[in-house]
Amino acid sequence: SFGRSPLHMAVQKGNSKIVRILLEHDADCNTKDTHGLTPLAYATIRGFEDVADLLLSHGAGIQ
């Protein structure tokens, strides 16, 4: 799983519903996987703007 959290996995699928639930339960939106990528990085790479907006609204840092 390359050190990816459940939040990383939901973001990679573009599943905004699960992303929202995880964030509401205090998932760390700034955690990095073994490649040094955050959930926000994956949302940006994959073009999931709605997911990126959710992450940003919950304090995801821009690197």
Instruction: With a cut of 70, say whether residue 63 has pLDDT above it.
Output: no
What is the structure's pLDDT at 23?
A: 98
Q: Encode burial over 18-33: b for 16+ CB neighbours within 10 A, e otherwise.
A: bbbebbeeebebeebb
For the entire predicted model, the pTM comes to 0.91
What is the structure's pLDDT at 1?
A: 67
Quick one: average pLDDT of 35-53? 97
Q: Which fold has domain 6-57?
A: 1.25.40
Residues 14/34, Cβ–Cβ less than 8 Å: no
